[in-house]
Amino acid sequence: MHLGEEADPATDVVCKYRVTTDLPMEKAAEAIAAEQSTGTWTGISTLTESTLENYGARVLAIEGDLVTIAFPDVDFSIEVGGIPQILSVVSGNLYGLEALKAVRFEDIQFPRSITSMYKGPRFGADGLRKILGRPEKPLIGTIVKPKIGLSPKETAGYVYEAGAGGLTNSKDDETLVDQRFCPMQERTAAVAESLDRLAGEGQKMIHAINISTNGDKILEVADRAQSWGAKQLMVDVITCGFGAVQALAEDPSVKVPVHVHRTMHGAMTKNLEHGIAMLPMVKLIRMCGGDALHIGTLGAGKMSGDIKGDHDNLDACLDPSSPYRTVMPVCSGGVYPGMLEKMVRSSGLNVQIQAGGGVAGHPGGVRSGAMAMSQAVNAIYNKVPLKEYAKNHKELAQALEKWGLKE
């Protein structure tokens, strides 16, 4: 036990776990530290004092059910191993230990010796704002809906209408990649035409093409998508792996920002006693170089998520003490104009607000839906209550009538 010892910020990886157990908490914490570093279920003749001292994880603190464990950086294999190996240490076998009823990985702090080996986002929040010529207001995006089923031409038509209504961003949905009804090549080219047309009309907009695929193909697909005109790429980080984000962010062949979707995260994050909080994943994604990342809707939208957790995610995207560029936090999932006051009050202006159903479901169609979203953001930016602004903005008024106002 090393209770009360300070971690070394130069060399220790410090993790926090929430533990549910019938064992005394000290024993449970020791079981995690041992399993994830030098120990096993019994004493072993091959473990020497010096191995334990040099490579053993240390329990630094126990506060209620929250346990802090430090792993020395020599336990990690960053060049060959990378994030998969890091996760296997800090987030591996421990979930299955019979002695623990439940355990949730809540937070991680990396030492300089490891952060210096990652580059972080190439564009980040500021880079996206620069591309879009939008220094202060929230970015406003849409997810082309329906999720699947539209042709390339219909997708491009949707994107054009969204841009004409004032949106700065759009993206493929997480389940669309290269299905027969909407091949990536035709979709990307058709969307690029829409974006060029919008640019000609003075509306800067980008669209993220979902290139989620097998690890051995991701760079090749990224290359092809860019050659067809993709201005941004999207990757589903949990299903593809953190390495996919890192490959896209670090390979010189990729010249556009990477939007990171987190489909399947709910399997790990939803249970507040067991699994993995989003926070450590946000930190890993920032380290790997994601430029924009879904963080939840701070209690406003359709996806469940604890509000404090969403705030932690937002802070981790923008934390100025990180050595990396900031990540654009994306609030998405059941978003509609009438909830934006509540959401932005909580998030501040440095976010990307995204609505799929909340744009395509507008009674006036996609362009009106996009206008309603832009009007709501303009109202908030100018500190005018939405109800007031809606008096002379028809599209916003229609959206408030359909979906209401969330106070």
Indicate whether 106 belongs to the interface with Mg ion (CB under 5 A). no
Task: Indicate which single residue of 106, 173, 236, 291 sits in contact with ligand CAP (rule: CB under 6 A).
Answer: 173
CB 5 to Mg ion: min, Å: 44
Indicate whether 141 belongs to the interface with ligand CAP (CB under 6 A). no
Indicate the angle between helix axes 218-227 and 184-200, nearest 10 degrees. 40
Indicate whether 143 belongs to the interface with ligand CAP (CB under 6 A). yes
Indicate whether 270 belongs to the interface with ligand CAP (CB under 6 A). no
Query: Which one of Mg ion, ligand CAP, none interacts with residue 203, CB within 5 to 8 A by kind?
Result: none
Which residue's entry shows tokens 């027969």?
180
Q: Give the nearer residue to Mg ion in terms of CB position, either 106 or 174.
A: 174
Indicate whether 337 belongs to the interface with ligand CAP (CB under 6 A). no
Q: Which of residues 347-406 bind ligand CAP (CB under 6 A)?
A: 355-358
- The DSSP symbol for 75 reads G
Beta bridge partners of 71: 13
Task: Indicate which single residue of 174, 291, 341, 395 sits in contact with ligand CAP (rule: CB under 6 A).
Answer: 174
Looking only at the bridges linking them, the beta strands covering 58-63 and 66-72 are: antiparallel
Task: Indicate which single residue of 309, 333, 338, 369 sits in contact with ligand CAP (rule: CB under 6 A).
Answer: 333
**Angle, alpha carbons 261-267-273 (nearest 5°):** 125
CB 405 to ligand CAP: min, Å: 18
* Positions marked catalytic: 145, 261
Cα–Cα nearest to 346, from 395, 372, 313: 313
- Residues 172 and 159: their CA atoms lie apart, in Å, by 10
Beta bridge partners of 58: 70
Where does 91-123 have alpha helices with state H? 112-115
Indicate whether 148 belongs to the interface with ligand CAP (CB under 6 A). no
Tell me, by CB under 6 A, how many residues bind ligand CAP: 18
Query: Which one of Mg ion, ligand CAP, none interacts with residue 27, CB within 5 to 8 A by kind?
Result: none
Query: Which one of Mg ion, ligand CAP, none interacts with residue 332, CB within 5 to 8 A by kind?
Result: ligand CAP
Query: Which one of ligand CAP, Mg ion, none interacts with residue 355, CB within 5 to 8 A by kind?
Result: ligand CAP
* Cα dihedral 3, 8, 12, 13 sign: positive
Query: Which one of ligand CAP, Mg ion, none interacts with residue 312, CB within 5 to 8 A by kind?
Result: none
Q: Taking contact as CB under 5 A, which single stretch among the options 151-159, 165-173, 373-381, 390-398 is the one that binds Mg ion?
A: 165-173
- Under 8 Å between Cβ of 364 and 334: no
CB 267 to ligand CAP: min, Å: 12
Q: Give the nearer residue to ligand CAP in terms of CB position, either 335 or 376.
A: 335
Indicate whether 172 belongs to the interface with ligand CAP (CB under 6 A). no
CB 370 to Mg ion: min, Å: 17
- Under 8 Å between Cβ of 332 and 138: no
- Residues 375 and 371: their CA atoms lie apart, in Å, by 6
CB 312 to ligand CAP: min, Å: 14
Q: Which of residues 274-313 bind ligand CAP (CB under 6 A)?
A: 294, 296, 302-303
Which residue's entry shows tokens 């709501």?
376
Strand stretches in 150-274, DSSP E: 169-171, 206-210, 232-236, 258-261
- Under 8 Å between Cβ of 318 and 349: no
Which helix (H) or strand (E) segment holds residue 312: the answer is helix 307-318
Other CB atoms within 10 A of residue 141 CB: 29
Where does 117-183 have alpha helices with state H? 124-132, 152-164
Torsion angle in degrees (nearest 10) through CA of 277, 278, 281, 286: -150
Which helix (H) or strand (E) segment holds residue 103: the answer is strand 102-109
Indicate whether 332 belongs to the interface with ligand CAP (CB under 6 A). yes
Binding mask 167-196 for Mg ion (x = CB under 5 A): ------xx----------------------
Q: Give the nearer residue to Mg ion in terms of CB position, either 174 or 310.
A: 174
- Under 8 Å between Cβ of 254 and 228: no
Query: Which one of ligand CAP, Mg ion, none interacts with residue 333, CB within 5 to 8 A by kind?
Result: ligand CAP
User: What is the binding site for Mg ion (CB under 5 A)?
Assistant: 173-174
User: What is the binding site for ligand CAP (CB under 6 A)?
Assistant: 143, 145, 147, 173-174, 262, 294, 296, 302-303, 332-335, 355-358
